[in-house]
Structure 1
Amino acid sequence: MVRAAALRLAALAVVALTLLPGAARAEGCRLALLLALDVSSSVDDSEYRLQKQGLAAALSDPDVKRSILEGEGHVALSVYEWSGRRQSTLLLDWILLSDEDALNQAVGTILAAPRSYNRFPTAMGYALGYGAGLLEQAPPCGRKVIDVSGDGITNDGFRPQQAYAHFPFQGVVVNGLAVLGSDPRVVDYFRGEVAHGPGAFVEVAEGYEDFRRAMTLKLFRELNDMIVGVLRP
């Protein structure tokens, strides 16, 4: 009788798990990776395409793909675009990259999404606050990383350091991908203002034509937790 009751409870537990969303059912997640793409007015349409296609190619790179699929524990991925104070838009909700089909689905969703905005300023503090909220909706993972790309510095609203002080960034690492060409101050700004947390780093792209290479290297480092050129202890 006890055994029958235990079996019934186990069956109910399985049913309950199948009714939960994927994020809630995630087990053994090693990394929640949130990618933030710059769509402010400094990014023209051709640069936007290079950014979007570069990200898709980086996620499909063989070394990156192996790092995602063959590592110990799964990777959860989400992507959003950002520009002005209230112009942050989710492109890809949290998805557990448990197999190649899930990864291909994520890449397809990213490529199919239209550009959300194109005429607003650079409100990076607001964008990071939005990202902190998205991370709170992520599945439980061993590490939480926000990966912010951009070609300029904050020119609207509060700065990144204020976001870190007032939003839930405990245990969160923020890495940067600074794109040269629009603002010569961008690399120093990303290193001094944007990078946050233990092991945080900034990758540099020599223009949007170089975005694919820089993003591929950046993802590889993040997925393999490589502490190279650390900015702060």
Structure 2
Amino acid sequence: MPPIFRLLLAGMILIAAGQGVGHAAARSADKDAPGAAPVDTALIVSVDVSGSVDQGRFALQMDGIAKALEDPEVIAAMLSGPRASMMFTMVEWSERVATAIPWTRIASRDDAFAVAARVRRTQRPAGEFTCVAHMMRYVSDLILPTLPVKAERVVMDVSGDGVDNCDEDPATARMRDALTATGMTINGLPINEGDPNEPLGGGAFRAPGRPFQPRTFAPKILEPWYRKYVIGGAGAFLLPAKGYGDFDRAIKEKFALEISAAPAVHAHFAQLGAAGSR
């Protein structure tokens, strides 16, 4: 992990340890009124399960997400805010979108490990297309309205290995803008298989049920496409993975930054977002 992340996360661990006694009472109160207490962060983990994601790649994603939830630094980040809790949900998407794990409160190490176990048990659904705009509409219509508590921050983490091949770019951008208008931050984890500077495909797209259609733009490179059409909101940033074998490293670092309520991390968010907009 880069030194800047280690310094930030070390501070979070100390914060979480110092707040443990005070937040124990709050967590006890939560049990008396489930779902009533607000949280620091609501995190939507949005996972690509299109045709390029075979069973092996799917397993690497699920194991990486589970390991991140079990990591002491990530757990410290979860518990570092004034409410010492967060909400977690996971969405799987291709041309179909489904909620793999509904909104679940994480307010302790045991909670985090329980969600990690559910992630590992998740089955890969059938899917062929990379439909980012479809996924964002699903989140807008069915995920945000069902968030059961107030959250100080709502963050969506989008991971995938390709550009939208269901809709042209303006549809993805419109849905991204609609979500960020609610105050959500959308961060990207592009999974680079091969040279990230090489164009993806031949510049065509095929929406479900239609023949290949010529795109009205040049073939896309994954990271710039994520930067231009996917990420958005306050402090939004990209943290790429160098292939599926690097996914667990990337998702761990990304979760720790996204979940943290520490002011130093928020400042780092802003710097990452400013750099990404250039």
In the alignment, residue 215 of structure 1 is paired with which amino acid?
I
The question of whether the paired residues in 1 share the 8 Å contact of 2:176 and 2:229 is answered with no
Secondary structure, in 3 states, of the residue corresponding to 2:124?
coil
Aligned-partner Cα distance in 2 for 1:155–1:32: 28
Aligned 8 A contact 1:54 1:211 in 2: yes
Q: 1:166 to 1:100 in 2, by over 3 A?
A: closer
Amino acid at match of 1:220: A
Deviations 1:10-59 (A, max 9, x none): xxxxxxx9897x43x1x231111000000001111111111110111111
Distance 1:56 1:212 in 2: 9
Change in Cα spacing, 1:66 to 1:88, as seen in structure 2 (3 Å) is same
Whether 1:190 aligns to 2:226 is yes
Q: Give distance in 2, aligned partners of 1:166 and 1:111.
A: 32
Quick check: 1:113 aligned with 2:114?
no
How many percent identity over aligned positions?
27
Q: Which has the higher strand share?
A: 1
Q: Is the 8 A contact 1:173 1:200 kept in 2?
A: yes
- Cα distance, 1:35–1:189 mapped onto 2, change above 3 Å: same
Q: Structure 1 residues 166, 65: CA separation in 2 closer, same or farther (over 3 Å shift)? A: closer
- Cα distance in 1, alignment partners of residues 227 and 120 from structure 2: 29
SS across alignment from 2:136: helix
1:75 has 2:90 as partner: no
The residue aligned with 1:14 is none
Cα 1:53–1:189 change in 2 (3 A) is same
8 Å CA contact 1:79–1:93 kept in 2: the answer is: yes
| Pick aligned residue for 2:174 from 140, 147, 162 | 162
Residues 136-215 of structure 1 aligned to structure 2 (within 5 Å): 136-138=145-147, 139-157=149-167, 159-166=171-178, 169-181=181-193, 183=200, 185-215=221-251
Structure 1 outlier segments of 4+, above 6 Å: 17-20
SS in 2 for 1:202: coil
| Alignment RMSD (CA, Å) | 2.2
Alpha-carbon distance in 2 for matches of 1:176, 1:128: 13
1:232 CA drift (Å): 4.2
Give the TM-score taking structure 1 as reference length. 0.83
1:167 CA displacement = 5.7
Inter-partner Cα distance in structure 2 for 1:207 and 1:81: 19
Letter of the 1:72 partner, please give it: P
Paired with 2:112 and 2:91, the residues of 1 have a C-alpha distance of 17
Report the AA paired with residue 145 of structure 1: V
Q: How far 1:126 moved relative to its partner?
A: 0.8
Aligned to 2:217: none
Alignment match of 2:255 (pick from 198, 201, 219): 219
Q: Take 1:70 and 1:168, find their aligned partners in 2: how far apart are those partners?
A: 25
For residue 72 of structure 1, report the CA deviation from its aligned partner: 2.2
Report the number of matched residues.
Answer: 211
Residues 131 and 146, structure 1, Cα contact 8 Å, conserved in 2: no
What is aligned with 2:21? none
| Cα pair 1:69 1:100 within 8 Å, conserved | no
How many angstroms does 1:102 deviate by?
1.5
- Asked if 1 retains the 8 angstrom alpha-carbon contact of 2:69 and 2:75, the reply is yes
